[in-house]
């Protein structure tokens, strides 16, 4: 158990809908990262937050957004969902941004999103 | 274009043998490279980190090498066991322009199967 929690575990929804995925980092970790993992693309970095502020951005679509709250939990919002958004979404946390030079990321169990 | 590739999608070996997995990258100059283990339906678990100025790193039965000239990392599991069967991901730190922020770029993974 990494100490990172994600809810829900599974989510099934229809195209065009909007969903929110939630992540609670390990106690004491200030950074939260979101990843998307699909069979053909592998694990893709979406976005990172550090202590409530956006720190780095990857291949995140404009239909997706995220935020980190004062209690450090984070939410990933996916809107206007398409079939291709079906994937596993992972949240990871680490102690600090610290240039990421020595940062180990601890991954949550993931949310499996299915768009029908 | 920038790429990170793991030598094969699947590797089958006999228990007790050494498993060797390869990670090659092009057009990156990573400060470090990490290896993760991922079991089906679960999040990746950090195994080892090796920095650009390190040639080799060991942890129990695991050994990682990093050759920045060849742009390659090798991941070895000695005396392999069926419990080592999993997908192994390599990831490198990609710094953005200006070097102030970075994110992890993951390979698609190699699925290792260790037969008894």
For A6-51, the pLDDT digits (tens) are 999 999 999 999 999 999 999 989 999 999 999 878 899 999 998 9
pLDDT single digits (tens) B36-85 = 999 998 999 999 999 888 989 999 999 999 998 999 999 999 999 999 99
- Residue contact B103–A90, C-beta within 8 A: no
Number of C-beta neighbours around residue A100 at 10 A: 24
State the nearest Cα–Cα gap between A107 and chain B, in angstroms. Answer: 5
Q: 59-88 in A: which are within 8 Å (CB) of B?
A: none
- Residue contact A100–B102, C-beta within 8 A: yes
Give the burial string for A61-78 (b: 16+ CB within 10 Å, else e). eeebebebeeebebbbeb
State the nearest Cα–Cα gap between A97 and chain B, in angstroms. Answer: 9
The span from the CA of B22 to the CA of B6, in Å, is: 6
- Predicted confidence at residue A108, as pLDDT, reads 97
Give the burial string for B71-81 (b: 16+ CB within 10 Å, else e). bbbbbbbeebe
- Residue contact B44–A107, C-beta within 8 A: yes
Q: Output the six-digit token pair for A29.
A: 């970790």
The span from the CA of B76 to the CA of B23, in Å, is: 11
- Predicted confidence at residue A97, as pLDDT, reads 57
Q: Name the residue facing B93 among A42, A100, A110 (closest C-beta).
A: A100
Contact of B30 with B52, CB cutoff 8 Å? yes
Contact of B73 with B62, CB cutoff 8 Å? no
DSSP class of residue B111? E
Whether the per-residue pLDDT at A90 is higher than 60: the answer is yes
Half-sphere exposure of A22 (CA within 13 A, CB side): 6
The span from the CA of B30 to the CA of B90, in Å, is: 12
A17 Cβ neighbours under 8 A, 6+ residues apart: A81, A115
Contact of B110 with B21, CB cutoff 8 Å? yes
Q: By C-alpha distance, which of B94, B109, B98, B104 is closest to B39?
A: B109
Q: Is B49 part of the contact surface with chain A (CB cutoff 8 Å)? A: yes
Percentage of chain B beyond pLDDT 70 is 94
Question: Best interface-test mutation with A: which of B1, B33, B104, B108 has the largest number of A CBs within 10 A?
Answer: B104
């Amino acid at each position: 158990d990494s100490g990172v929690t994600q809810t829900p575990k599974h989510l099934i929804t229809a195209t065009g809908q909007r969903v929110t995925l939630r992540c609670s980092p390990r106690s004491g970790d200030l950074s939260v990262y979101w990843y998307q993992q699909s069979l053909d693309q592998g694990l893709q970095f979406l976005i990172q937050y550090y202590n409530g502020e956006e720190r780095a951005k990857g291949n995140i679509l404009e239909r997706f957004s995220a935020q980190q709250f004062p209690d450090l939990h984070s939410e990933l919002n996916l809107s206007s969902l398409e079939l291709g958004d079906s994937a596993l979404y992972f949240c990871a946390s680490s102690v600090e941004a610290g240039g990421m030079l020595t940062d180990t990321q601890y991954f949550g169990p993931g949310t499996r999103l299915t768009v029908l | 274009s920038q790429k990170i590739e793991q030598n094969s999608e699947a590797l089958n070996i006999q228990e007790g043998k050494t498993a060797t997995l390869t990670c090659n990258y092009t057009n990156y100059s990573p400060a470090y490279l990490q290896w993760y283990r991922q079991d089906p339906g679960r999040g990746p678990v950090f195994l080892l980190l090796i920095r650009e100025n390190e040639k080799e790193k060991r942890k129990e039965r695991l050994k990682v090498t990093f050759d920045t000239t060849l742009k390659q990392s090798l991941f070895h599991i000695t005396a392999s066991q069926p419990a080592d069967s999993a997908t192994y991901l390599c990831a490198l730190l990609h710094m953005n322009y200006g070097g102030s922020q970075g994110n992890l770029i993951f390979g698609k993974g190699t699925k290792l199967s260790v037969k008894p």
